[in-house]
Amino acid sequence: MPEQESAVEKFYGGVANVSDLIWGGSWNGEVVLPLPPMVVVLLGVGLWLMIGLKFYPLRKLGAAFVGLFERDKDAKSGEISPFAALSTALSGQVGTGNLAGVATAITLGGPGALFWMWITALFGMALAFAEGALAIRYRERRPDGHYQGGPMYYIRHGLGKKWRWLGVLFCIGALLSSVATGNMIQANSFADSVHGLTGWPDWVAGVIAAVGVFAVIIGGIKSIGRVAETIVPFMAIAYVVMAVLALLLNVSEVPAAFATIFESAFSGQAATGGFLGAGMIMAVRAGVARGLFSNEAGQGSTPIAHAVAQTDDPARQGRFAMMGTFIDTLVICTATGLVMLTVQGAFPHTGPDGVQVMQEHVWTSDLRGFAMTQAAYDAAFPIKVLGDVSIGALIASVALLLFVFTTLISWGYYGERATTYLFGQKLAIPFRLIWVMMIFVGSFQEIEFIWRLGDIFNAAMALPNLIALVALSGVVFALAKGDKKAGPDHE
C-alpha cells in the first residue's frame, strides 16, 4: 500500500510540475525559465495581431462600445443577438478569476501584477477580435438549420482538410478544460460560497447548482443566451458599482494605490508591512498568467459563443469579442484589485518570529485567494446583516455565486460543442445530463489537483487555437478592413 501511495504522490507531483512549467516557468518550485512558455506564446501572438491590425482594437474601442447599443437590422442568420452572444461569452470569462484570480496575482507578483494584467488585456483584445471575426467568417449551418462555429470550424474551413487534426486537438483540449476548469472548479467554488453563507453541506449546494444549470442549458444556446444577457450585464454593473462605493469610502488611498501599482510593476520593491515583495519578472509572470486565465483571450472558448450571433459582419462581432476582454480585465479585475489595495482595515499577518501583526491593507496579510477579496469588502461594508456575515462579505459571496453560475452555463455549451464536433450531434443531450452530474460531483471534491489539470488542459486548448490565429492572421487583417468574405473557403 505505501508503494501505491508513493506512486500516486509522484504522479500528482509530475502534474504539478508540468502545470508550473507551462504557466509559471518553474520546476520543483525552482524558476527554470525567465518567462513561462504560455505567457510568451500568448503575448507573442497578441503582439503579432495587434501590429498587423495596426492597433485596430485600440482605435476602434469607442466604436465597439457604441456598437453595444446598436442593432444589426440587416442580419438574418444566427441563433442569438450579438449582445446575447457577448453576454454568453462574458458569462464564461467573468468567474473565479475576477475575484480569487486577481488576489492570487497580487499575492504572487505584488501590486505590479495588476499593471501587467492591463497590458495583457490590451494584447488580449487583438486575440479576441481575431477569434470573434473568424468565428463569424467560418461558421457553418447544420442540416437542422442551427448555426455553430469556433476554432475547430475556422481551422477546418479556413485552413483546409490537412489541418483537421488541429481542430480535433483543440476539441479534445476544450472538452477536458470544460470539465476541469469550466465545471468542477466552478462547482466547488459555488459550494464553498453557499456553505460560508448558510452552513449547508457542499453536496446540497451542488444539487442547487446542478438543477439551476440544467434548467438553462436543456434549452440550448437560445436559452443560455437569454439568461446570459439578463444576468451578466446586471451582475457586472452591480459588482462594479459596489467596488466604486468601496473606493469612494477609501478615496484618500486611491492615488497611493496607483503609485504602488506602477512602482511595483517595474521595480519589484517590497511592500510595506508583512508582504515580502517580488521582482519585476514575478510581477510580469503573475499578472500575465492570471490575466489570461481570467479573460480567456486566445484560449478559443469565447468564439464558440460569438459564432452563433445574428450578424453577417465578422468585424462587428470581432469588436464585440474584444469588448468582452476589456470589460473582464480592464473593468472588473481592476475594480477587484483596487479594492484590495485601497480598503483600510485590520488584517492578520504572521511574521517570521511567529508574532501576529495586524496590517492596514488586506494584500499584505496572510489571507489568500477569495478570502482576501472577501475580507476587503467585509472591511469596506462591515455592517452585519446575516448573523456574523457583513454586507461586504455578502456582496463578495453573492458576486462569486453569480459569476460561477453563469460560467457553468456557458462552459457547458463550449463542452457540448467540442463533444458534438468529435462524436456527432446525437450526444448533445447526453452531454448536458453528464454536465450537470459533474457539477454535483465537483461540489464536494478536493479540488487542488483539478486546478493543476485544468491549467494543463487550458494550454492544450489554447495552443491549437493560437496556431490557427497565426495561420489565418492575413484573413483577420482583411476582415478588419471590411472584407466580409476574406480568406479561402474549404470544405
Q: For residue 185, how far is the Cα from the chain centroid?
A: 12
Task: Report which of 189, 236, 183, 185 is spatially closest to residue 214, judged by C-alpha positions.
Answer: 183
pLDDT value, residue 50: 96
What angle (nearest 5°) sits at the alpha carbon of residue 239, between those of residues 23 and 277?
40
pLDDT value, residue 284: 67
> Grid coordinates representing 458?
487550458
Report which residue type is found at 7: A
pLDDT value, residue 150: 94
Cβ atoms of 290 and 98 within 8 Å: the answer is no
CA separation, residue 215 to residues 5, 90, 212, 220, 432 (Å): 41, 20, 5, 10, 10
Count the Cβ atoms, other than its own, within 10 Å of residue 441: 15
Q: Residues near 7 by Cβ (< 8 Å), separated by ≥ 6?
A: none
pLDDT value, residue 159: 94
**Runs of H (alpha helix) within 269-350:** 280-295, 302-306, 314-325, 334-342
DSSP label of 491: -
What is the C-alpha separation between 449 and 169, in angstroms, rounded? 23
pLDDT value, residue 422: 95
Cβ atoms of 409 and 209 within 8 Å: the answer is no
pLDDT value, residue 276: 41
Count the Cβ atoms, other than its own, within 10 Å of residue 6: 10
pTM, entire model:
0.90
pLDDT value, residue 438: 94
pLDDT value, residue 275: 41
Strands 356-359 and 347-350, by their bridges, are antiparallel
Strands 140-141 and 30-31, by their bridges, are unpaired
Burial code (b: 16+ CB inside 10 Å, e: under 16) for 171-204 equals bbbbbbbbbbbbbbbbbbbbbbbbbbbeeeebee
pLDDT value, residue 280: 62
CA dihedral 436, 439, 441, 444 (to 10 degrees): -150
In a 13 Å sphere around the CA of 28, the CA atoms on its Cβ side amount to 1
10-residue mean pLDDT profile of the chain (491 residues): values are 64 86 82 82 93 94 83 71 87 80 80 86 93 95 89 94 94 94 88 85 92 92 89 89 94 92 72 44 67 79 93 93 91 92 89 82 85 90 86 89 91 95 93 94 82 86 95 96 87 69
pLDDT value, residue 428: 92
What is the C-alpha separation between 43 and 262, in angstroms, rounded? 20
